[in-house]
Chain A
């Protein structure tokens, strides 16, 4: 992050030379990250437009989770620029907080707050970060809990819910902040098979309603149904990106073909 220290705070995205151009919601250029000596993200260039649904897939260790965690600064990057909705991600705490308000995240391990009720989990951030009143926040929370089909669980604790229900709460919790984009980090990988469908259904509904989504997942069926673009990553690089039809039926790279062969076989 050292090279970003002196750059002024940008109000406009980098490529706003023409008013007619579609401005990217997320603009990643030349992103490089190292864990010590290990080069985990290599020269990533990625633009995500508003309303786009992107699925990122690849073998484990390819850096896909690391990439999306860089977007909301859960991981720090050493080189390159990330601009989210006009705000550049630097080490300025105000920028980071602005970006985190606009970016929602759904985790593989749920990470609900076990000592708060479902409703409290959803209203916590709106009250303390967006400074909404308790009544307002609860109204919004109940709406989203209905959208994910579990309004009756509002006063229970996370420990009392099944895995599928918990993950749906996580989706609702991130939606309560009214984000511009939601990141999904392998949302169904920790679920028992019979609960994967209920979560995927909610994600599909969300996609249909026009939310910008960036999903790291192994669920290829979901990718085919919903994605505008599928991205394949391997060894820290973006190997290939294409609309799903093209990606699954006519993969261009050898590595993509190999991966698809392994994943789609069962």
Chain B
């Protein structure tokens, strides 16, 4: 049963995951933490951190990790990763086939105009969800946040930032 739920959940995440990895975080959080209760918020946030430090798309990394944690074996990983890829693969294939027609379609443009603010809202929700007591434990964590925000705004590589934050964590905690 858990395999069926895992498959359906990640199929849903793949299907509604507009806006790329960061927007998908709030979708994953809602599905995995709020609705299914498979992981805690902190567990998911740590998985996101690991996903950012390892190569590959965040959504794929996350699916592989959650699939393993929930079932305790490789098949869960394989199932979740496959499920999250099926909708983008099929939808993007259709788009590639009808690319010329879609490009000039005004309905497509109308839908995109309305989906765009939703995507930004989803990314915003992901950020707000993790601005909690587990993340901000003291003044140092607020300083780390501010420093990383500034550095990332200046387009400093995220892996370097996470590595520095890890070292700072080791030094002060």
Question: Does A pair with B?
Answer: no
Chain A residues within 8 Å of B, Cβ to Cβ: none
Chain B residues within 8 Å of A, Cβ to Cβ: none
